[in-house]
Structure 1
Amino acid sequence: MKGNCLIAQSGGPTAVMNNSLYGVIEAALLSDRVEKVWGARRGIYGLLHRDYIDLTQFSAAQLRTLRSTPGAALGSWRYKLTVDDVERIISNMQANNVRYFFFIGGNGSMQAAHMIHEAARTKGYELFVMGIPKTVDNDLMYTDHAPGFGSAAKFLATCLVDIGMDISSMPKSNRVTIVETMGRNTGWLAASCALARRQIPSVPQLVYIPEIPFSVEQFLQDVHQSYTQSGSVLVVVSEGVRDSSGQFVAGESISLDAIGRPQLGGVASYLASVIEKQLDLSARYILPSIWQRSGMLFSSGVDAEEAYLAGKHAFLYTQQETTGKMVNLTRIPGHSYAVSFGTVPLADVAGKERLFPLQWYDTEAKFVKQPFLDYVSPLIQGEVWVPRDNGLPVYESIVL
């Protein structure tokens, strides 16, 4: 099938999602089945408004810079699709002879890709749809891990090492430090901070994830005990921790985002104030915030390469007339780390979440177990070379 190729990015950006974009572009430009390679500006917005940008207008050097550029170079947009929206997207694609469509995103994006795939099939329009996994939360089903997670995990673990060095440098001046990580419903990122113990055995002491009900009373006991033993405490808490009734711990200050999800953040500041009031200890909180998903200088070489290969494989699968699938990664058993790439139906991953395995968490110690550290350690290996000008990184943004 000869036609045009269209790529879109959606959801929260990551440090390496542009590697997937580059992987698709590189493979598409070599195909005699593709006439034009387009990107949809701002993700779903571009799909709805037929706002396509010709990606062949950029030089080979500009496109290669995508491999060391964080964020979403095409732009992203949070929006919940309706049935009418999907019909409009298909009509736009038909009008531009788009035959190959690639959606880089998380579980919500896979839901949108599935809707587009089903609508095209119902309409009788031959469109090859492939989802490319992307998320720092690592909550996609049926893949060993998602590109984006390894770099965010490496960034956070690096932060914890640096923070630990500061705390150990001033043992009499630091009391309780709380680091809040992303993780709406899952604790993969918070758990990854435990990697810091390999460099500084004394930190972090306590890690809290959303999969385990959070008790403020028990938390205060944990902090008091840890402080009594070491004189300072470094806590990691996921933004999405909930109490036994399922309510967010910092729920009173939470509003909703554009697609109706709670806008999280604030649990660390809340817990710091509780510590100061209840335990009479000095407490501070640190918010890596969006930096944890866009920190290119601390990104993982393994993660960047896997993101690139996921994009490249996605295109190659469409050339085998594969459609309605998401690229997934399977870890190959053995002493050295390696993965293979395959596919899974979009319907199986759309809108679903993979939680952190409870068998990898020690509920008594409030810490992770060795099997998780063995799982995550290979994902943070290697570096990404970032070009610099005047001492600062040089990035490429297609939407500007």
Structure 2
Amino acid sequence: MGDNILIVHGGGPTAVMNASLYGTLKEAKKHPQIHKIYAAKNGIGGLLSGNLIDMSNIPEENLERLLYTPGSAVGTSREHLEPAEYDEMSELLKKKNIGYVLFTGGNGTMDTCGRFYKRCLAQKANINVIGIPKTIDNDIAATDHSPGYGSAARYIAQSVKEVCADVKGLPIHVVIIEASGRNAGWITAASALARDGNGLGPDLIYLPERPFEEEKFIRDVQKLLRTKTGIVVVVSEGLKDKNKVPIVDPVFEDGRAVYFGDVSSHLANLVIRKLGYKARGEKPGLLGRASVLLQSSVDREEAQMAGEEACRAVINGISGKMVAFRRASVNPYEISPFLVDIDKVMLCERVMPEEYINAEGNGVTEAFTEWCRPLIGGNLTEMVSFN
């Protein structure tokens, strides 16, 4: 078994990806048998080219900054590996005397993690492999939730609340806010946390788990316009019709990487054409995963915990697992980490369950908001209206 450890980041970053990196680094330093701590520069590509960053002696002040730095401080990628490249990875690790590998990422990265683990078993390579979950989309299976989601949920909830205050002050249009989420509506649904009983909150929410009907959407908006002049609607970027065809053609597709068309602008234009009412689209995009000011403290702490747990497990000889969270208590909120077989995670997408979506398909249930609320790390900004 090699004495060095390697960290590999994969997929889209989050506001707390570096908190998991921090947790891993802090834990690895506690184990004297670990000589070097490496990170693959810019993900798998860096590993395959032998471009590794030595993280063993990073100054403490820079380590602490990781907790409040969004993105990936070592770089990430969405590269797809060919079968032969897994063998190449094994050889590179042997040359660097690396016996422990931690993959941090979402569904695609956990698939890579599982495939590499199986390749190591087949080759009888003495390398332990563990996955650290990371995704704003919250679509990784076998865990109550994933690090990265709580901060994205806080961002969308706070941002929607602010837009609702703006629209309440000048209620002259329908605003369509587009949230991230390819096939899973977890981020879109979190906008419901903006509701504060003071009239601030989204009027309608549409998730990709339900087929989207443009005519029903227009009817929903038209019904609200009978009693309100300003409306806020939150929609998922991944909305599809009953035939599972995106309501707006994607701009670019490459495997699992999809650049969606502008759903918010499309629906705003639909309102204008069909109802003759002023409408506009808004799309936070990357802002929703990169905001440190709206980072969830709970998310940050749990991301660090995931890094620590993974590092301890892999050094203690455990392999072929991913760190997951089990909710031990709802009120007070309490979670406990555990290890799940990587086979139960690999490209197994977790979508919103039916009990979290309202009967009309244009909102969420109280069961969802109760589940989600603890993850955003405290109350949103208090607001007031005399209108």
Q: Same fold (TM over 0.5)?
A: yes
Aligned length: 379
Mapped to 2, the partners of 1:128 and 1:201 lie a distance apart of 53
- 1:127 equivalent in structure 2: 127
Q: How many angstroms does 1:284 deviate by? A: 0.4
One-letter code of the match for 1:53? I
Deviations 1:149-194 (A, max 9, x none): 00000000000111011111112xx210000000000100000000
Mapped to 2, the partners of 1:237 and 1:310 lie a distance apart of 30
- 2:384 equivalent in structure 1: none
* Matched residue SS, 1:292: helix
- 2:307 equivalent in structure 1: 311
Mapped to 2, the partners of 1:293 and 1:244 lie a distance apart of 29
In the TM superposition, what are the counterparts of 1:1-400 in structure 2 within 5 Å? 1=1, 3-171=3-171, 174-198=172-196, 200-251=198-249, 253-257=250-254, 259-333=255-329, 335-364=331-360, 366-382=362-378
* Matched residue SS, 1:56: coil
Identity of counterpart residues, as a percentage?
Answer: 36
Gaps of 5+ in 2: 380-387
Deviations 1:285-331 (A, max 9, x none): 11100110111110100000000000001011123211010000000
One-letter code of the match for 1:317? A
Deviations 1:190-235 (A, max 9, x none): 0000000126434200000000000011111111111222112100
Deviations 1:356-382 (A, max 9, x none): 011111132611100100000000114
C-alpha root-mean-square deviation of aligned residues, in Å? 1.4
Contact 1:142–1:344 (8 Å) recurs in 2: yes
Q: How many angstroms does 1:63 deviate by? A: 1.0
Mapped to 2, the partners of 1:335 and 1:67 lie a distance apart of 27
One-letter code of the match for 1:105? G
Contact 2:5–2:37 (8 Å) recurs in 1: yes
Stretch deviating more after TM superposition (193-202 or 5-14): 193-202
Mapped to 1, the partners of 2:330 and 2:267 lie a distance apart of 42
Mapped to 1, the partners of 2:39 and 2:121 lie a distance apart of 22
Contact 1:175–1:227 (8 Å) recurs in 2: no
Distance verdict in 2 for CA 1:198–1:365, change over 3 Å? farther
* Matched residue SS, 2:129: strand
* Matched residue SS, 2:131: strand
Contact 1:164–1:200 (8 Å) recurs in 2: no
Mapped to 1, the partners of 2:361 and 2:129 lie a distance apart of 45
Mapped to 1, the partners of 2:332 and 2:350 lie a distance apart of 25
Contact 1:2–1:35 (8 Å) recurs in 2: no
Distance verdict in 2 for CA 1:142–1:279, change over 3 Å? same
One-letter code of the match for 1:231? T
Q: How many angstroms does 1:2 deviate by? A: 5.0
Contact 2:194–2:200 (8 Å) recurs in 1: no
Contact 1:206–1:365 (8 Å) recurs in 2: no
Mapped to 1, the partners of 2:2 and 2:198 lie a distance apart of 56
Mapped to 1, the partners of 2:368 and 2:8 lie a distance apart of 32
Contact 1:226–1:232 (8 Å) recurs in 2: no
- 1:395 equivalent in structure 2: none
Q: How many angstroms does 1:122 deviate by? A: 1.2
Deviations 1:56-80 (A, max 9, x none): 2420111111011111111111111
Contact 2:136–2:147 (8 Å) recurs in 1: yes
Contact 2:322–2:340 (8 Å) recurs in 1: yes
Deviations 1:122-158 (A, max 9, x none): 1111111010000000001010000000000000000
Gaps of 5+ in 1: 384-400
